[in-house]
Amino acid sequence: MKFRPNSKAQERFVLDDVHRVAVALGGRGSGKTHANVVKCIRHCMDYPGAKVWFVGPDDKRLREGLLEKFQEICPPNLIRERRLGDKEFILANEGKIGWRSTDVLAGLRAGEQSFACFDEAAWAPYNQAQRAYSDLRAGLRLFKRRFWCDNDWISPDPWVEVLETGSSSSFIEVTYKQQLAISSTPRRRSYLNELLEVPPPGVAIYQLHTEDNAANLTPGYLDELRAAYPNAAEYAQEALGEMTGTDSPDYPDFDTKKHVLGGPGAYNLVVGGIDWGYRNALAVIVMGFTSSGAAFAIEEWGGSHIDLDQIVLKTAELQSKYGIRVFFCDQASPQNISFLNRNGVPAVKQAVILKSYRTAAVLSRFQKTQAGTYRLYIDPSMRQTIRQLRFAGEEVDDPAKLREVKSGKPDNDYLDALEYAVTGGERLLGNPFIPVVGRESHREGSTQQTIGVPFRFLG
């Protein structure tokens, strides 16, 4: 197999043997699927007996993407048998490649693999992409295999040990590298975009541009692409493979590149925020304040159908771990607050009642200071909070676009807990948030607007 990379990024993606997950983000016609298949064939030839999954958003894109490309560039003698009914290729070196689409329930939970290719991952529905990513990572557990293999396919690599040599075949033991290779054009609101905005450990991202692959495209294709996507953001996504951010109506200043950062570990004050989540999930946020007043969201915890005993155990654990002075809680359930206090967890009602003031308090901290810094940062591990910040206040026409849509808008339980912690911590620091807002006064059936009336929480 010959491979001539069209860019350094494509070459590094194909040759990446280190990261658990390697991602090729590319525009249309950038060669991302080609690179993914080349990477897979390289794995199959280097590791005899490899077991591989091919995955796509649906059967059509799977067949016209990974499968067609694999049969086009794979060395002909590597494929021993095509079992199309069973959706698998049997390889001459005792390897096997199976394929599924993400819309097949539980279709990716069978067996164990050494390698997996997920093509156009951003274009699978959110829940399907999330499940497929989790299943594929969990399936990467093929560690060693012992089997008879034709001598022609046994490579002199350190991970291949010949246990018994025969005239035409030998009994070998192979120790496998395990990797998930993803190739996709990004897509707003996709699970892949969310995952890669704050990449977890072990994930490497390579940017492939359509322009780099111009020699392999039909004449005029790039001009057609520019005409099809005259908007700069759309062109950046469709041709440059760049992730376009989401500016939420409530938090337009929130930027994962600026505000997602681990904290210093030592704080002058640590508080908690709790949203009881009757219609949504329970959410708990831990917030630390430094001596300069900067706030760091440290940890999140929550879920559906959690009883009070579990909440007490977890909040007591967090209090001991971080030295939390008090939890500021949703006032809708005073009995829950009393229950926490009776069990040794200090808890009070939220410091600021009106949602608009709490949102303004958090929003102001995402704005840059004169020193070029910010006054609120979110730990990279807090993926639920980061997600809800990105979509806060946004109406959703199609519920399939978001995983937890209820009544046409995303959930905000972690955001509420975050706001309780921020405004409560400010109050304890002696610096309660005082936004300047308008106030309506009703006089003889008319409404007059008074500007510049300060609001202060009086407790």
Which CATH number goes with the domain that contains 42? 3.40.50.300
Q: Are residues 290 and 209 in the same domain?
A: no
Domain identity same for 231 and 353 = no
Instruction: Report whether 151 contacts 169 (CB < 8 A).
Output: yes
Q: Which two tokens stand for residue 139?
A: 């399936």
Whether residues 58 and 161 share a domain: the answer is: yes
Domain membership flag for residue 416: yes
Cβ–Cβ under 8 Å, residues 174 and 205: no
Co-location of 271 and 161 in the same domain: no
Number of domains comprising the chain: 2
Cβ contacts of 53 within 8 Å, gap of 6 or more: 97, 98, 99, 100, 108, 113, 115, 116, 117, 136, 139
Residue 339: domain span: 256-440
User: pLDDT tens per residue, the chain (459 residues)?
Assistant: 678 889 999 999 999 999 999 999 999 999 999 999 999 999 999 999 999 999 999 999 999 999 999 999 999 899 999 998 889 999 999 999 999 999 887 778 878 999 999 999 999 988 899 999 999 999 999 999 999 999 999 989 999 999 999 999 999 999 999 999 999 999 877 889 888 877 888 999 999 999 999 999 999 999 999 899 888 878 888 888 887 765 667 778 888 888 999 999 899 999 999 999 756 689 999 999 999 999 999 999 998 888 899 999 999 999 999 999 999 999 888 999 999 999 999 999 998 888 888 888 999 999 999 888 999 999 999 988 988 888 776 555 555 555 544 444 456 889 999 999 999 999 999 865 544 333 333 333 433 333 233 333 333
pTM attached to this predicted model: 0.69
Domain assignment of residue 121, yes or no: yes
324, 285 contact by CB (below 8 A) = no
Same domain, 234 and 282: no
Give the burial class of 239: count Cβ atoms within 10 A of its Cβ; 0-12 exposed, 13-18 middle, 19 or more buried: buried
Domain shared by 192 and 282, yes or no:
no
Contact (Cβ atoms closer than 8 angstroms) between residue 129 and residue 102: yes
